[in-house]
Amino acid sequence: MAINNGMFNLEFDAIPGGASMDGLIGLSSNAAGAFSDLACAVRFFTNNKIEARNAGTYVSVTNTDYIPKTSYHFKMVVNVALHKYDVYVTPAGGTEVIIGKDYAFRTEQASITTLGNFAITTSICGLTISNVSLSGIASSVYNDFESNAEFEIFPNPLIEAGELTIDFKKNIQKANIEITNLEGKVFYKQLIENASKVNLTTNYLLQKGFYVVRLSDVVNVYNKKLVVK
């Protein structure tokens, strides 16, 4: 599996081999040698339920039983930067249900910065996995975009209702300033003319999370990472 440090979707099909099993599918930063190495995980458990890991425990938003030797399609929507993920499952011939929403990475893995390993483990009976795919990968935006930054932002981290100062360190004749999340959704956009600094009262415009502050003109693009807490 490719190493990812941004947002991505992981999808796969799983067939539990029997009832009351303990079958686990998950993601880790490196090769997993123990359950505690898995940051995100779903399981077919001995209580005949499908559950997902949320920080220190396995739970499910929707009470979902599994039937042995039936195919289940899983989708995991993972945000490595925020250490959060969602889990959805669709039984064969059924409709999609949510297992976990904004679940936290396993407690032992709460500070990892990459996910690059797909792991499977089972006891009692077999677990068949197929059709594994990755999509929506945005792996470089968080770690690499600051290499050419030529302006300053403060305070950083910023509180949700705080005032953000963007200091260009020189007079800007004409440029665009944008604030986006890691998926590229634009939360703020302004044309800058003959200014050296911008003060933005966010007033809860930005929720807790990670953002990109981007300054661009006809020639250059400069970026800064922003944390809102």
DSSP track, the chain = ---BSSEEEEEEEEEE-STT-EEEEEEESS--SSGGGEEEEEEE-TTSBEEEEETTEEE-SS--B--TT--EEEEEEEETTTTEEEEEEEETTS--EEEEEEEEPPGGGTT---B-EEEEEEESS-EEEEEEEEEEEE-SHHHHTTTT--SEEESSSB-TTPEEEEEEEEEEEEEEEEEEETT--EEEEEEEEEEEEEEEE-TTSS-SEEEEEEEE-SS-EEEEEEEE-
What mean pLDDT comes out for the span 192-210?
89
Is 46 or 136 the better-scoring residue by pLDDT? 46
pTM score: 0.61
How confident is the model over 33-76, as pLDDT tens digits? 888 999 999 999 999 999 999 999 999 999 999 999 999 999 99
Closest CA to 28 of 9, 4, 12: 4
Residue 138, pLDDT above cutoff 50: no
Closest CA to 22 of 47, 41, 58: 47
Domains within the chain, CATH numbers bracketed = 7-138 (2.60.120.200), 145-228 (2.60.40.3080)
Q: What gap in Å lies between CA 198 and CA 165, rounded to an integer?
A: 6
How confident is the model over 172-189, as pLDDT tens digits? 888 889 898 876 778 998
Q: Are strands 38-44 and 163-181 parallel, antiparallel or unpaired?
A: unpaired
